[in-house]
C-alpha cells in the first residue's frame, strides 16, 4: 500500500514533497508543455494560465482553490486515492473535485495504474475554470447520484465520463484539440489521439452510451465535441436516453 506523507487530516502537506517529487513534476510538466501548446484545447490552455501552474513549483491546493472559487465556485479536495462512486459523485454534486496529493516515482513516469496528482491536478483542474465544463460535471454527478444503486446505469454513465472528461476531443477552428485529462497527462496518447490511427466520431450521447472502453490501452475511438456549451447542453438529453436504455434492458431480464 502506498504511503502518502503529503496528506494529513484531509489536507495537502506541501512541505513534505521530496526532491524526487519536485523533479518528477518538472519532467512531466516540461514534457507535456510543448505537446499541449500544439494539441490542447484553447480553453484548457487558458485555464492552465489562469491557475498559474509552472514547472518549478508543485501546486498548492490552497492557492488553486482561491482561483477556482473566484471563477466557477469549485474547489479541489485532497483524497488518498480513488474514491468509491457514491463519494466521488457526492463531492462533485457539491462542486468539489477529489484529487490525490502524491506523485508517481521516477520509475513510473510513463505508466501508472492509479491516477496521481499530475493526472488529477495538471490535467483536470485547468478546465474547472470553464463554466460550461464545470456545470457539465455538476449535472452529470447529480444524475449519477439518482442512479447510484443501479450498477448498470453507473456503468453506462461512466462511459459518458470516460469519453468526455477523460478522453474527449474538441473541434476548434477545424482542428482536433484535446481536453480529456487522460490524454493530457499522457505524452504518448496526446499525439496518438489526434492522429489517423484511432477512429473519430462526432459527439453523440447514445453512441457514447453504447461504447464500452478499456483502461489498459490507448483508446481505439474518440468522440469530438463542438463546444463546451454543447457538452453541457447534452445533459438535457442524457437522462432520457439513459432511461430508455435501462427500460429496454429490464424487458430482457
- Point out the annotated binding site for Fe cation: 119, 124, 166
Which long-range CB contacts under 8 A does 85-88 form with residues at least 24 apart?
85/144, 85/148, 85/154, 86/145, 86/148, 88/141
Cα dihedral 25, 92, 189, 115 sign: positive
Q: What are the E-state strand segments in 151-191?
A: 169-172, 175-178
- Are 95 and 142 spatial neighbours (Cβ–Cβ below 8 Å)? no
Q: How far is Cα 179 from Cα 170, in angstroms, rounded to an integer? A: 7
175-178: strand order across its sheet: 175-178, 169-172, 221-225, 199-202
Annotated binding residues? 119, 124, 166
Beta-strand pair 175-178/169-172: antiparallel
Amino acid at each position: 500500500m502506498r504511503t502518502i506523507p503529503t496528506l494529513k487530516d484531509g489536507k495537502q502537506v506541501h512541505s513534505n514533497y521530496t526532491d524526487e517529487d519536485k523533479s518528477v513534476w518538472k519532467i512531466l510538466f516540461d514534457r507535456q508543455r510543448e505537446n499541449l501548446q500544439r494539441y490542447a484545447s484553447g480553453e484548457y490552455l487558458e485555464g492552465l494560465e489562469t491557475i498559474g501552474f509552472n514547472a518549478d513549483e508543485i501546486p498548492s491546493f490552497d492557492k488553486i482553490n482561491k482561483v477556482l472559487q473566484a471563477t466557477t465556485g469549485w474547489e479541489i479536495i485532497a483524497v488518498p486515492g480513488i474514491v468509491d462512486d457514491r463519494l466521488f459523485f457526492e463531492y462533485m454534486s457539491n462542486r468539489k473535485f477529489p484529487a490525490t496529493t502524491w506523485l508517481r516515482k521516477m520509475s513510473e513516469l510513463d505508466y501508472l495504474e492509479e491516477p496521481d496528482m499530475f493526472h488529477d491536478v495538471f490535467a483536470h483542474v485547468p478546465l474547472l475554470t470553464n463554466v460550461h465544463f464545470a456545470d457539465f460535471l455538476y449535472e452529470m454527478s447529480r444524475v449519477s447520484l439518482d442512479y447510484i444503486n443501479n450498477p448498470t446505469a453507473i456503468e453506462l454513465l461512466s462511459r459518458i465520463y470516460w469519453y468526455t472528461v477523460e478522453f474527449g476531443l474538441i473541434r476548434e477552428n477545424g482542428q482536433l484539440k484535446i481536453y480529456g485529462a487522460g490524454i493530457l497527462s499522457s505524452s504518448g496518447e496526446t499525439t496518438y489521439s489526434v492522429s489517423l490511427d484511432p477512429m473519430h466520431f462526432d459527439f453523440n450521447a447514445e453512441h457514447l452510451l453504447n461504447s464500452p472502453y478499456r483502461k489498459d490501452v490507448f483508446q481505439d475511438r474518440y468522440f469530438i465535441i463542438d463546444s463546451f456549451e454543447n457538452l453541457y447542453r447534452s445533459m438535457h438529453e442524457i437522462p432520457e436516453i439513459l432511461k430508455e436504455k435501462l427500460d429496454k434492458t429490464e424487458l430482457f431480464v
